[in-house]
Amino acid sequence: MQDDLSRTDLGKGGRTPTIGAIEAGGTKFVCGIGYADGTIVDRISFPTGAPETTLRRAADYFADRNVQAIGVGSFGPIDLRPGSETYGFVTTTPKPGWSGFDFLGALRRRFDVPYGWDTDVNAAAYGEAIWGAAAGLDDCVYYTIGTGVGIGVYAGGRLLHGLLHPEGGHMPVRRHPGDGFAGRCPYHGDCLEGMASGPAIEDRWGVKAHELAPDHPAWEIEAHYLAQSVATAILLLSPRKVILGGGVMQQKHLLPLIRSGVAKLLNGYVAAPELGAGLDDYIVEPGLGTESGLKGALALGVRALESAKKQAAEAGIR
Amino acid sequence: MQDDLSRTDLGKGGRTPTIGAIEAGGTKFVCGIGYADGTIVDRISFPTGAPETTLRRAADYFADRNVQAIGVGSFGPIDLRPGSETYGFVTTTPKPGWSGFDFLGALRRRFDVPYGWDTDVNAAAYGEAIWGAAAGLDDCVYYTIGTGVGIGVYAGGRLLHGLLHPEGGHMPVRRHPGDGFAGRCPYHGDCLEGMASGPAIEDRWGVKAHELAPDHPAWEIEAHYLAQSVATAILLLSPRKVILGGGVMQQKHLLPLIRSGVAKLLNGYVAAPELGAGLDDYIVEPGLGTESGLKGALALGVRALESAKKQAAEAGIR
């Protein structure tokens, strides 16, 4: 459940207690342990298999490590609604075996500790807001552009949930005039993810994204879709930082193309220095490198522990 | 400044004290007085002229009415950043004379009371969240589709501000295949507002929107743009209610076209009953009719008063 702990409650802690973190991706799980100051001291990674096996493997990793809380950032869609009967479940994913799986329940049977629980991209946005590129800011948007496209939202100092959770990766986009690719989203065809994910690039050009030269026309097309989506996110969410992560963003020539695309699309309408001279410091790569997700999960675990302590203290007072 | 008063603090009050409300539009000002239960007991309306004259007229209306607080929902862009030197100012509007005008300052010189201050569309979203179609919900999106297109956002029980405030009316949209209209946004040409505002409809067809028959092809094109934007807002913001207001929405045949357009675009991807069988109760007209803006301003005034009282009480305790 969303609580009101400010960022400043995090990072104050010393190096104990030990907190568990799970970055649960559709392809790969990363489990780690760390501290309230954001340090990760150990980690493992393994492919995502059947849900029971995968969660057993994660739980085995945490066994005998004396974790005081566990934070999870999971692929989804997932149920985040406090009080829901299926809170902690993966809901409608097409991933075989995972639809309707009680993710948190599988962990709870092994460890009676407080749990943090959110989407992978919300966790990454949170990690960046606590310790990364958006540290000290109450509003940021985090993109992962890789196997899919996901968008996490931190707004007014809280992770955005609402009805379900943001699924911005599937927003409709204007087609690039030179792009005849049909799109590969099974639901929407040519939505953002359908046109701009790593597999979309591979389908369109017949080679993997990292094999395309920096001056290949692929990148202008890729930037066209991402810039559009970032402009839309800026107009709808008014973030104080836009952070672009994920495998596709490892191609470092892409980020400047996106920035100039956004500037062209907004055309000076949003009058803020961040969107003018400050643009290079506004649309940025993750401050935590490839660790936004795992550290975000850690931060969710830290928050869950603090929140549980606060509740216990308040119960003691009564 | 955004505070943490919950909706439940509002609406509890009796019929006193008297609160002032200003719905400050680019064309017309509406001023009213009312109570913490949402009742508006008196109002006037006059055309928006030069800023000094207009604010004098508004202040004259409130004189001798013993208002304990005033809430303002204003056209913009406006400065909402607490602590900013230009907090309470209209910022970069092309509207002659208003750019850089100290809106709240003009009122403060006349009435030493607490002020609520937000954009016109955020105020309307707030009004709907307190007393209207989204009453009891922490997340809603409010559209006005009229002279312009504006989108207000209430997320996690707070009005969304961030870097500036949402300006979603200017999001890029996919062109309708049968639409050759260039768009009339001076910044973006064929953005949402450029294609779907009342004046855009008039420019495209040569007659005013309300003169177009319900079966005119204009409405399918209009719904195309609005549905796209609503689908995007749902995917990025995950609202619990989408409320569509403004003059263009007075054409009652438009709303069902937008709903079916959204359903088609999302194509079952967001698995929530609200987006299936519940769609007619999810994308709705304003619960407050044409009063969302004025009642929203009233709610901002009530909140400002409660917040000031709370602060005074806390200062007394210390």
Q: Is residue A128, in this structure, part of any structural domain at all?
A: no
Residues 6+ apart with CB under 8 A from A271: B77, B91, B92, B164
Question: Does some domain include residue A210?
Answer: yes
- Decide if B162 and A238 are in contact by the 8 Å CB cutoff: yes
Task: Report the residue from B77, B162, B172 with minimal CB separation from A240.
Answer: B162
A105 with A180, same domain: the answer is: no
* Position A186 in a domain: yes
A contact residues 226-285, partner B, Cβ 8 Å cutoff: 228, 231-240, 265-272, 274
Q: Are residues A30 and A151 in the same domain?
A: no
For chain B, give the percent of residues with pLDDT over 90: 91
Q: Are A143 and A252 found together in one domain? A: yes
Chain A / chain B CB contacts < 8 angstroms: 151
**Domain hosting residue A256, numbered range:** 133-285
Query: Pick from B138, B139, B236: which is nearest to A171 by CB?
Result: B236
Question: pLDDT at residue B113 above 60?
Answer: yes
- Give yes or no: residues B137 and B280 share one domain: yes
Domain annotation covers residue B302: yes
Per-residue model confidence (pLDDT) at position B240? 98
CB contact under 8 A, B92 and A271: yes
Q: CB-CB: which of B139, B155, B167 is closest to A270?
A: B167
B35 and B21 both lie in a single domain: yes
Q: Which of B219, B228, B289 is nearest to B257 (CA)?
A: B219
- Segment A91-130, tens digit of pLDDT: 988 888 999 999 999 999 999 999 999 999 999 999 999 9
Report yes or no on A27 lying in a domain: yes
The answer on A263 and A304 residing in a single domain is no
B64 in A contact zone (CB under 8 Å): no
Q: For residue A125, is it within any domain? A: no
**Residue B15: which pLDDT band, with cuts at 50, 70 and 90?**
low
Q: Specify whether A152 is located in the same domain as A253.
A: yes
Nearest residue in A to B176, CA atom: A174
What distance in Å separates the CA atoms of residue B190 and residue B151, rounded to the nearest whole number? 17
Nearest of B71, B167, B84 to residue B123 by alpha carbon: B71
For residue B92, the distance in angstroms to the closest alpha carbon of chain A comes to 7
Do the chains contact at A155 and B151, CB–CB below 8 Å? no
Query: Which 168-197 residues of chain A touch chain B by CB within 8 A?
Result: 168-175, 187-188
How many separate domains does chain A show?
A: 2
pTM of the predicted model, to two decimals?
0.94
Residues B60, B73: one domain? yes
Assess if residue B95 is contained within a domain: yes
Residue B161 placed within a domain: yes
| Digit-coded pLDDT (tens) for B253-273 | 999 999 999 999 999 999 899
Q: Are residues A153 and A25 in the same domain?
A: no
Contacts of B207 (CB under 8 A, 6+ apart): none
Asked if ipTM goes beyond 0.85, one says yes
Residues B138 and B238 both lie in one domain: yes
A145 and A88 co-located in one domain: no
Same domain, B272 and B159: yes
Calpha distance A6→B197 (Å, rounded): 40
Q: For residue B150, give the CATH number of its domain.
A: 3.30.420.40
In this structure, chain A runs to a length of 318
Residues 6+ apart with CB under 8 A from B268: A187, B276
